[in-house]
Amino acid sequence: MSQEKLFATFILNRDIEIAMPADRVVEAIKAVDKILPVPGSVDYLYGLMNLRGRVIPVINLKKRLAMADDGYGPDHKIVVVRLGRTLCGILIEDIKDVLRVGQEMIEPILPGLQGDDRIIAGIIRLDAGDRLLEILDLDLLLDQAAEDEILAGHEVDEMEQKSADVTGQQCRQYLVFTCNGMEYGVDVHNVQEISTLAGLNDTFQSGSIEGAVEMRGRMIPVIDSNLLLTESKEKIALSELSRVIILLVNGIYCGIVVNSIVEIRSVTAAEVVAVPCSKAGRGAGVAGMLHLASGRNIMLLDMETMLADELEELGRVASMSSELAEDKKEAESHSHHLITENSYLIFKVERDFAIALHNVQEILENCRIMPVPAMGGFLTGIIDLRGQMVPVVNLRLFFGYDRRTGDGDGNDKYVIAQAVEGRVALAVDDIVTIQKQQKYFQTPALNPRLRPRQDTLDRTIELITEEDISESVLVINVENLIGNHLESGSKKPC
């Protein structure tokens, strides 16, 4: 499994998603009213703000990325990030989610496509490429001249750093969300990811459990936050802003459905007001109340206590749903295996050949073949198959037959074959049939024309024609064709 990275994602210009490494994000808060402009500074410095007694610069990210700056809406937010030994605020429009991303999902931007200011470090591809996230390189957020100007006077010395470290130990980060008009905070220590409601499976829906979501092979039970946090028997009202917060509590993964994500806020112990509990234990799941000068009250939750009575059921549902998911995958795999097991696609290349059906991905006609200079031999070009370049092998040339009249005029059929070694497009004369054949035989001695390719023709099957005639058909070993006759990457003939 590839190493995963945790990213926090934010919205800019309504539909652009910006991703930042989550470990660099200190908090993401509602924009403060008092941001002091700095005349004569770089154009993307929005101003300076007071963050719990500490003055930090705030960057207008739209201007920094040279976007059309149509301003920020009334609900915009400020992401506070670490830049070296200091902090910096970044204006964004909204919080999107927090997600773990495998390295294979991250694509670098080619240097030739970037200018000198390479502030976008790469692209994250999600949902088969339908969702793209731009990764912001925080180390390049400020150019050198701006860094010297903006951070002048804001760099912490060694004594201040020690003081800040002590203060940091007294701070806790909370993810603030809404549930039917109330604001709640859950310790970021418990938060694993934030996702949308897509893929919620209601098979195990009961009580406060809404169902389960699958995340990287693990089925996670999801709780309705309104049923959990209030005495209401009504479920939370869902919208496009609704999110699932994935938590890890006492070793058990679970999710809670909330109306929206508000912010990520750092809270000092001195800011938290204790909430009294009743003798019956009501309120025991509340760690305290955060009262802000703006009049907002955020109820801070102790999820270990809040979910104490739910954890056994959550663990049981997680185990059952994961077993069900594994059984379903196994059944689907077995079903696919039964369909393709001992089945062959038979096609014509001067004579009948076959390949195992499990090696066949699809069959194409009238493809646009892109020639590659100096490729030559039996390789006649490449096909752009949904963004992947697949080499084309002309089987007539591969097996030593003459080119067909009109060969390459767009009338060929192409069998897209795949194996562990890679993928290839096989140009054939025509498709004959699909046949299930339990028995196969070792290939006897081949004629001189085919003998050089004997490693790719190691078995035969018997085909019963429409005239009830038995015919021996050579089966092409796709693994050997790709592995022995195509060079990895360049795809040139050996």
Position 493 scores a pLDDT of 39
Amino acid identity of 201?
A: N
- Please name the CATH architecture into which domain 171-326 falls: Beta Barrel (2.40)
Domain at 4-155, CATH from 2.40.50.100, 2.40.50.180, 1.20.120.1200, 2.40.160.40? 2.40.50.180
Question: Measuring CA to CA, which residue among 358, 345, 362 is closest to residue 475?
Answer: 345
Position 237 scores a pLDDT of 87
Residues 170-183 have pLDDT tens digits of 688 899 999 988 99
Cα–Cα distance, 174 to 289 (Å, whole number): 12
- Residue extents of the structural domains in the chain: 4-155, 171-326, 341-485
Position 71 scores a pLDDT of 78
Residues 369-421 have pLDDT tens digits of 887 766 668 888 888 887 788 889 999 999 999 887 665 555 678 999 988 87
User: Given strand 77-83, what is the order of strands in its sheet?
Assistant: 35-36, 45-51, 54-60, 86-92, 77-83, 25-30, 260-268, 171-179, 182-187, 297-301, 286-291, 272-273
**First CA to last CA across the chain, in angstroms?**
32
Position 353 scores a pLDDT of 93
Position 7 scores a pLDDT of 93
Residues 319-347 have pLDDT tens digits of 655 555 555 555 444 444 444 567 889 99
**Domains 4-155 and 171-326 are alike in CATH topology:** yes
Cα–Cα distance, 437 to 263 (Å, whole number): 61
Position 164 scores a pLDDT of 44
User: How far are the Cα atoms of 241, 295, 441 from residue 93, in angstroms, in the given order?
Assistant: 14, 22, 66
Which residues of the chain fall short of a pLDDT of 50?
1, 155-169, 278-282, 331-339, 488-494
99 exposure class (CB count in 10 Å sphere: 0-12, 13-18, 19+): buried
Q: Which fold has domain 341-485?
A: OB fold (Dihydrolipoamide Acetyltransferase, E2P) (2.40.50)
Position 277 scores a pLDDT of 56
